[in-house]
Amino acid sequence: MLLSRNLISLRAVSVALALSVTTTAGTAVHAQELKAQVEADFGQLDPAFWQSTADLNVIHAVFPKLIEFKNSETWEWELSSAESIEQVDEVTIRFTLKPGLMWTNGYGEVTAEDVEYSFERFKDEALAAPNAGDWAPLKDVEVIDKYTGIIHLNEPFAPVWWSTLPYSAGAILSKKATEEQGGKFTTDPKATAGPYKIERWDQGQRTVLVTHDGWNGEAPGYERVELIPINDPKAAEVAYEAGQVDIAAVAISSVPELEASLPEDARLEVRPTAGYLWLGLNAENPDLQDPKVREAIKLAVDVDTIIEGAYFGIPDRSTGLVAPGLVGHREIEMPGRDVAAAQALMAEAGVTSLDLELEHQNSTDLQTAALIIQANLAEIGINVQLNTHETGTFWSLGDEKGVNMQMTLKEFTSPPDPAWSTQWFLEEQAGIWNWEWFKSDEFEKLHYTAMAEVDLEKRAEMYHQMQELMDASHSYIWLIHPPVSLIHTKSVNPGLYPNGDYKLQDFQPAN
């Protein structure tokens, strides 16, 4: 009780104070050192087991990959540790490593055998890797010589160029070092070969990365990077203002104020992520089984007001679960609010009044969004009870409530491939992560077909169709792709993936 009361105070008071104090800009300029705020400590550096952005920040920096996403606002990859890579046919990818890339701690040179080991271990049943799906269609990796190998797939697999090779599953491990560790590790890999290596990790306080002498690619901009875990975005903002970090993620609620009075030597970067936020309606629930009721709710919810009220008008309205910049994103006009049509649908359904429950997490933005939805639905005779949950409780609701779940405000994150997003809405996920209990044979078929479709246009069309099926179910009211907002000193040119995640090796000191 004391804890929760104080945490509420923390948020409320920090908002008030942050807005009321004229601050000096961050001054933590270290010519050879970058101090970057991260949301949390890393917990799993094994690419087959990673779970969070904090893990990814370090995995991307310390393990080499054949190809790598660019420091850019669009998802495009470039060669990294591969000298060349080519898709020979739909199920064959040939690569050649750049010679001279060395493992730390004397584990020798990075070879095609390491690549073979790194990718094939995902399929090892004894490893029981939760992320095995990243390499699900992998047949094997054939080693041609020290630097050259051929990746054989059992079937065409489009995500291989999006969420596999340039992402975490494309990370190359040292076969010898990993086998010495029993075939897996958590936070302490014995050998790495990326642009940075881990110098030290003080759990809860800092992770220090330093440049790796054995890296044969472009030298990172900073010799030393300190990652400082600060979970609360307001605390992160204060840390930036106090000059203790060079870059920090700030709360979306701070963006309007910061834009209005940005310190002279600071820059603000706001980017949409590949994640998606939506209001989900459980079609299996007796009170929501009638599609007319679900459609009425969809027409009654004022998405624009939610964006304005809860997100300060910053993000664009979402058109589906596929974010801008990804294959299958829809550039369409979403229908506006229509209360009269919603009321007519309720009358057609023979529902004059209805009591529903809306489950949501306890963040300020989601609470505001829930309040707006409650007010919107009151206009069509729906009385909404808001059930606020802390994070852990919220994500266990699927097990707890099952079909008794009614409405949920949910946010998923996603790597840059739409298959990652659509996998949660398959029938096998009903009640697990598919809380809308959405079931569509056509959707299932398209999901698997699209994964095997390497023609981008055809693939995009399939994801359009899948989103249309979701729309037609009236179980999904798409809200936004939650943005990430970063403040940094002008002395730093940040290296960022399109979704705002750090690409640490591409951070550069500004001249």
Partner 1 sequence: MIAYAIQRILIAMLIVLLAVTTLFVMIQFVPGDPANVMLGPRATPELKEALRERLHLNDPFIVQVYHFFIGVMRGDLGVDLTSNRPVLNILIEQVPYTASLVLAVLLIALLGIPIGTYAAVHRDGLFDQVSGVVSVSLIAIPPIVIGLYLILIFSVQLQWLPAIGAGEGPWEIILHLILPTLAIGLTWIGYVSRLVRASVIEVLGQNHVKTARAFGIPNRRVMRAYVLRVALPATVTVLGVSIGFILSSAVIVEILFARPGIGKLMYDAVISRNYPVVMGTVLASTLFIVTATTIADLLNVMLDPRSREAG
Residues that bind partner 1 (CB under 8 A): 2-3, 6-7, 9-10, 13-14, 17, 21, 23-24, 27, 40, 43-44, 49, 51, 128, 130-131, 133, 186-187, 202-206, 228-232, 235, 238-239, 241-245, 390-393, 395-397, 399-400, 424, 433
CB 165 within 8 A of CB 66: yes
* CA-wise closest residue to 320 among 460, 446, 479, 472: 479
Which helix (DSSP H) or strand (DSSP E) does residue 73 occupy? none
Q: Which is nearer to partner 1, 290 or 411 (CB)?
A: 411
Q: How far is the CB of 444 from partner 1 (least distance, A)?
A: 18
Return the number of other C-beta atoms located less than 10 Å from residue 428's C-beta: 9
Q: How far is the CB of 421 from partner 1 (least distance, A)?
A: 12
Scan for tokens 């679900």, then name that residue: 294
Q: Which is nearer to partner 1, 312 or 433 (CB)?
A: 433
How far is the C-alpha of 77 from the C-alpha of 87, rounded, in Å? Answer: 14
Q: Which is nearer to partner 1, 43 or 217 (CB)?
A: 43
Q: How far is the CB of 366 from partner 1 (least distance, A)?
A: 16
Q: Which is nearer to partner 1, 96 or 168 (CB)?
A: 168
* CA-wise closest residue to 169 among 459, 413, 416, 455: 416
Q: How far is the CB of 432 from partner 1 (least distance, A)?
A: 8
Q: Which is nearer to partner 1, 70 or 224 (CB)?
A: 224
Count of positions (residues) in the chain? 511
Return the number of other C-beta atoms located less than 10 Å from residue 84's C-beta: 12
Q: How far is the CB of 3 from partner 1 (least distance, A)?
A: 6
Q: How far is the CB of 192 from partner 1 (least distance, A)?
A: 17
* CA-wise closest residue to 69 among 170, 148, 157: 170
Beta bridge mates, 477: 279
Scan for tokens 């690619």, then name that residue: 217
Q: Which is nearer to partner 1, 148 or 434 (CB)?
A: 434
How far is the C-alpha of 318 from the C-alpha of 194, rounded, in Å? Answer: 36
Cα dihedral 158→159→165→168 (10° resolution): -170
How far is the C-alpha of 19 from the C-alpha of 11, rounded, in Å? Answer: 12
Question: Who's near 405: CB < 8 A, 6+ residues apart?
Answer: 282, 285, 359, 397, 398, 435
Q: How far is the CB of 493 from partner 1 (least distance, A)?
A: 24
Return the number of other C-beta atoms located less than 10 Å from residue 511's C-beta: 5
Q: Which is nearer to partner 1, 390 or 455 (CB)?
A: 390
Q: How far is the CB of 42 from partner 1 (least distance, A)?
A: 8
Residue 334 DSSP symbol: P
Q: How far is the CB of 41 from partner 1 (least distance, A)?
A: 8
Encoded tokens for 350: 């023979």
Q: Which is nearer to partner 1, 415 or 482 (CB)?
A: 415
SS3 325: coil
Q: Which is nearer to partner 1, 24 or 154 (CB)?
A: 24
